[in-house]
């Protein structure tokens, strides 16, 4: 039986975080009432002309630089012609043969080893409106608020060989875009959309098989699942002697299947030609130089720096830097005096757990990084135990108050007074003759029970090490 390998390429569209649209001054804010953010230009009224938003160009160039692309010195915009009610001019201003940037790569990490995925191009275009179909109505409606929002298209080479690689690519790309702050990459609000194309070929073959394109995927996990399904579907077709038809397929999240949307025969002839209403985009070295200086530290570099600067394990650095906001939080915490490894443990562990449970993210977290640092200090100097710290942390998370306040008000300071602990221990020894007896007969494990009783009696505030030490002495 022939063994097949998958060949996967991804096309990602992201809405850019400019305040105004790509070719007019309308706001790009999400969620406004339908058709409240429109003007004659983005509505394609007769006689209007587009004016290019140069910040959108800058964002594309930033992304191109971050993806190791070459920046075109001379680029242009083109008209892509097709009819659809959400496209008021019935052509989309896009880029055809001279994209702003092309020919780069993105590094992904799979099972501990790094792999380069080629970036074919990153170009600028405009988003469309949205068709709405009121239930039961004999008409449709169009909301043009989104129409003309700058959209960046990032096309990869068909360099991925598994759905996991595709997933890693998307995660890594999203992370970079968030670092660049060019998009909020919010898939639910549609500011990041991914389409995959996939084909199979016998292992060892260097030719590509016929590919299908998968649309309508709403999450990165969805991309992975859709690819898994589609690869298996293609494998079955090929194994039973069939042929793959080049077509666009829709992913059905609920049913977990792809189904045909349109075949190549009905494919559009977009009749691209240069947009005559705009002048060519000239990007000189000085402009690229200025943009380069504006580039923030990217995830990969930051990961390496965190390892070198704070001595934390590479794994920790990778988890922390996946999101810029998390990494910023972590570093803020360390800068406020927290032990790097302790801070890493808390940010990756308890904090992520609480955030996930509350369904929120770190940018809306009530605990300030300096508060977490202060709490870690309290553990370090013995004011509270690690166990009590969890209680304090939860309250900090809920109320946003400082750890010192919480500890003081609730009397959570650790008991470190030997005499105070000694008197509690005396009582525990007196009340529990049987475990004491078995300990003394050599069953040293019984001490755990006695420690537990001391902690219970002190409501967890006794210093556990001290309890162990004093207890051992008294039981001799």
Question: Which stretches of the chain bind another protein, using CB under 8 A?
Answer: 40, 43-52, 79, 81, 83, 85, 88-91, 140, 142, 269, 271-273, 276-279
Pick 124 or 415: Cβ nearer another protein: 124
Contact 147, 154 (CB under 8 A): no
Pick 25 or 337: Cβ nearer another protein: 25
As measured in angstroms, the least distance from the Cβ of 34 to another protein is 13
As measured in angstroms, the least distance from the Cβ of 133 to another protein is 11
Exposure string for 443-455, b = 16+ CB within 10 A, e = fewer: eeebbeebbebbb
DSSP secondary structure of 179-192: HHTS----TTTTSE
Residues forming beta bridges with residue 367, ordered by sequence position: none
Q: How far apart are the first and last CA of the chain?
A: 73
Pick 272 or 449: Cβ nearer another protein: 272
- Residue carrying the six token digits 């420690």: 451
Contact 39, 21 (CB under 8 A): no
Pick 276 or 433: Cβ nearer another protein: 276
As measured in angstroms, the least distance from the Cβ of 262 to another protein is 14
350: Cβ contacts below 8 Å, ≥ 6 apart: 390, 393
Pick 269 or 434: Cβ nearer another protein: 269
19 to 23, 25, 28, 62: CA distances (angstroms): 12, 9, 6, 17
As measured in angstroms, the least distance from the Cβ of 86 to another protein is 9
DSSP secondary structure of 226-250: HHHHHHHHHHHHHHTT--PPPEEEE
Pick 280 or 452: Cβ nearer another protein: 280
As measured in angstroms, the least distance from the Cβ of 210 to another protein is 20
Pick 23 or 439: Cβ nearer another protein: 23
As measured in angstroms, the least distance from the Cβ of 28 to another protein is 19
As measured in angstroms, the least distance from the Cβ of 54 to another protein is 11
Of 205, 204, 213, nearest to 244 (Cα)? 213
Label each residue of 127-157 as H, E or C.
CCCEEECCCCCCCCEEECCCCCCEEEEEEEC
The Cα 46–Cα 408 span in angstroms is: 70
As measured in angstroms, the least distance from the Cβ of 300 to another protein is 38
Of 36, 102, 99, 41, nearest to 69 (Cα)? 102
As measured in angstroms, the least distance from the Cβ of 278 to another protein is 5
- Residue carrying the six token digits 């077509």: 247
Contact 464, 385 (CB under 8 A): yes
Pick 41 or 392: Cβ nearer another protein: 41
251 to 18, 222, 259: CA distances (angstroms): 30, 8, 7
Pick 24 or 192: Cβ nearer another protein: 24
As measured in angstroms, the least distance from the Cβ of 6 to another protein is 30
Pick 45 or 295: Cβ nearer another protein: 45
**Residue 371: strand, helix, or coil:** helix
């Amino acid at each position: 039986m022939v063994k097949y390998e998958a060949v996967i390429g991804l096309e990602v569209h992201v809405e850019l975080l400019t305040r105004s649209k790509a070719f007019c001054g309308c706001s790009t804010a999400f969620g406004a009432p339908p058709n409240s953010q429109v003007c004659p230009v983005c509505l394609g009224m007769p006689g209007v002309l587009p004016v290019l938003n140069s910040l959108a160009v800058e964002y594309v160039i930033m992304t191109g630089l971050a993806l190791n692309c070459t920046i075109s010195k001379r680029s242009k915009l083109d008209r892509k012609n097709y009819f659809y009610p959400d496209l008021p001019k019935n052509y989309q201003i896009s880029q055809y043969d001279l994209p702003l940037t092309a020919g780069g790569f993105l590094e992904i990490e799979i099972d501990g080893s790094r792999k380069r995925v080629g970036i074919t191009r990153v170009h600028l275009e405009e988003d469309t409106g949205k068709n709405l179909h009121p239930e039961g109505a004999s008409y449709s409606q169009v909301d043009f608020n989104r129409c003309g929002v700058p959209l960046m298209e990032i096309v990869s080479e068909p360099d991925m060989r598994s759905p996991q690689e595709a997933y890693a690519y998307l995660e890594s790309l999203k992370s970079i875009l968030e670092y660049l702050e060019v998009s909020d990459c919010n898939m639910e609000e549609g500011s990041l959309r991914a389409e995959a194309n996939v084909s199979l070929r016998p292992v060892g073959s260097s030719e590509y098989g016929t590919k299908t394109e998968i649309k309508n995927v709403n999450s990165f996990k969805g991309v992975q699942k859709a690819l898994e399904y589609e690869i298996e579907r293609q494998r079955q077709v090929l194994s039973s002697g069939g042929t793959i038809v080049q077509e666009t397929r829709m992913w059905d999240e609920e049913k977990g299947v792809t189904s045909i949307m349109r075949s190549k025969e009905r494919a559009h002839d977009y009749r691209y030609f240069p947009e005559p209403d705009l002048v060519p985009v000239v990007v000189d070295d000085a402009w690229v130089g200025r943009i380069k200086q504006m580039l923030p530290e990217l995830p990969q570099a930051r990961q390496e720096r965190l390892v070198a600067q704070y001595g934390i394990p590479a794994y920790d650095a990778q988890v922390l830097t996946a999101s810029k906001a998390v990494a910023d939080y972590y570093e803020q915490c360390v800068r406020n005096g927290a032990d790097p490894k302790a801070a890493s443990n808390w940010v990756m562990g308890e904090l992520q757990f609480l955030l996930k449970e509350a369904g929120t993210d770190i940018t809306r977290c009530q605990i300030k990084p300096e508060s977490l640092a202060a709490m870690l200090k309290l553990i370090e100097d013995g004011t509270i135990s690690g166990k009590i710290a969890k209680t304090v942390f939860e309250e900090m998370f809920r109320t946003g108050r400082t750890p010192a306040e919480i500890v003081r008000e609730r009397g959570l300071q650790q008991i470190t007074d030997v005499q105070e602990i000694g008197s509690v221990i005396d009582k525990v020894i007196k009340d529990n003759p049987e475990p004491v007896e078995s300990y003394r007969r050599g069953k040293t494990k019984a001490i755990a029970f006695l420690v537990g009783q001391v902690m219970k009696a002190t409501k967890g505030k006794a210093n556990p090490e001290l309890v162990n030490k004093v207890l051992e002495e008294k039981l001799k």
